[in-house]
Structure 1
């Protein structure tokens, strides 16, 4: 939050990604953006599902918990894994 803005592919750290930098980043820029966008969207919507799934487990409603967990766990795992992946992909472009 306090580190400022970084753009993927901005190798000269001027805040703009010109055509030469886009070409240097190549297809990895699109891979990064797809991972970032899906991570943001799923992170925004998964928390209520995680809490509701945990509630079902803590109240011993195991059939309902199991049914929810089949959907919630893979989505949560994707968000948990893509967070560090996004961080490591963007970290070379911080000043």
Structure 2
């Protein structure tokens, strides 16, 4: 048996499920994480920009954030930050 940290691709669906996002909200969240603007997300999902904004508002409410940056940080960084801190060696140069 080998025990190792989960890959991002394995952990993100679990985190998204924990917030009870719909499939469409998950798709929108993935595009937000890639840095796509609302208009481009709308084009890729064949939705109106207004509908995409509605999905974004719903995601923000479910996750408890108020910006795209907070969303990405909460979904993708919080899990990995403690792991990085444990293995990180800080070097002071100066």
By the TM > 0.5 criterion, same fold?
Answer: no
Of the two structures, which has the highest relative contact order with CA contacts closer than 8 Å and spacing of 6 or more? Answer: 1
TM-score by length of 1: 0.32
TM-score by length of 2: 0.32
Higher helix share: 1
